[in-house]
Amino acid sequence: MRFNVVNEIKLSYSREGNCERLIADSRDAIDVFREHFDSDEIDYRESFYTLYLSQANKVLGIKKISESGISSTIVDVRIIMQAALLCNASCIIIAHNHPSGNLKASAEDVKMTQQIKEASKFLNIQLLDHCILTSTEYISFADEGLL
C-alpha cells in the first residue's frame, strides 16, 4: 500500500522578551549589529545579518543570513524575505562585514542591495539601509546616498 503524505509547514515567531529598541539612524542600527557580529571573527570571516523593524522602526528581531569565507558570503534573498514576512516586518536593514577593513562597497555589494531592494519593494517592505562594518568603522548606504 502506498501513502501520499504532504508535510505540514510550521513556522513560528514570538515577540516575547523582545526589547523593541527604536532605530532612529544608522548609528542605532550599527549598535544592534555589533552586539550580534562575532567580535573575534569580524576581521576574519564575512557574515551577513538582517534587522527586522516594525512600522515605527522598533526592532522586531535580527537574523544571521549567512557566514562564509574571507572575502564573500552567499546571500539568499528568499531567506531574508521569509523572516520579514514571518515577523510582520515593515522595514529591514541589512549589514555585512568586510574582514579586509576596506569599507568601499564592491560591485557585488551594490548588485545584492538592488536585488534585496526589489524583492522588499514587491512585498511592500522598505529596505532602509545597508551597512558595511569593520571592527572599528562602518558605512551606511543610506547616509552616503547610495540607497
- For cell 539601509, name the residue: 129
Query: Given a cut of 90, is residue 13 above it in pLDDT?
Result: no
DSSP 8-state assignment for residue 15: -
> For residue 76, what pLDDT band results from cuts at 50, 70 and 90?
very high
pLDDT number for residue 73: 78
**Whether this model's pTM surpasses 0.85:** yes
The CA dihedral of 121, 125, 126, 129, to the nearest 10 degrees, is: -100
Lowest mean pLDDT among 1-5, 32-36, 123-127: 1-5
Question: In this predicted model, what pLDDT tens digit does every residue of 92-144 receive, in sequence order?
Answer: 999 999 999 999 999 999 999 999 999 999 999 999 999 999 999 999 999 99
Could you tell me where the beta strands, DSSP code E, fall in 1-146? Answer: 47-53, 59-67, 91-97, 126-133, 138-140
The CA dihedral of 57, 62, 68, 69, to the nearest 10 degrees, is: 50
- Averaged pLDDT score across all residues of the chain: 89
